[in-house]
Amino acid sequence: MADLAELRANIDEIDRQMITLLAERFKYTEEVGIYKDQHGLSAQDPSREAQQFQKLALYAEQSGLNPRYAEQIYRHIMDLVISRHQELKTVQK
């Protein structure tokens, strides 16, 4: 059994990688938000989300992650993205 410091070092490294990937994901969703604003599209796209949640559940199962955790984490991420897209739409032009 690894000691606590070793376990926490692994967690810290995963957190570093997750933040890097989240920053990258939010850069792309920012571009999507600008595109949606310019083309008069809704901030939220439920059919796209349904496809994503299906894939996320599969990835979670394949990785041994509780699919409900994946769903809750991504629901929160997407809600943040939707809020940002709504904000982009209300910016004075």
Ligand X SMILES: O=C(O)C(=O)C[C@]1(C(=O)O)C=C[C@@H](O)C=C1
User: Quick check: 32 binds ligand X (CB under 6 A)?
Assistant: yes
The residues, any chain, with a CB within 8 Å of residue 78's CB and separated by 6 or more, are 49, 52
Show Cβ contacts of residue 90 under 8 Å, excluding neighbours closer than 6 positions.
none
Candidates 57, 78, 86, 89: give the one binding ligand X (CB under 6 A): 78
Q: How far is the CB of 12 from ligand X (least distance, A)?
A: 26
| Smaller CB separation from ligand X, 9 or 34 | 34
Binding mask 43-62 for ligand X (x = CB under 6 A): -xx--xx--x----------
- Dihedral pair phi/psi, residue 42, rounded to 5°: -65, 150
Among 14-22, 42-50, 54-62, 63-71, the segment contacting ligand X (CB under 6 A): 42-50
Is the Cβ–Cβ distance between 36 and 42 less than 8 Å?
yes
CA nearest neighbour of 30 among 81, 83, 92: 81
Q: Which residues bind ligand X (CB under 6 A)?
A: 29, 32, 44-45, 48-49, 52, 78, 81-82, 85
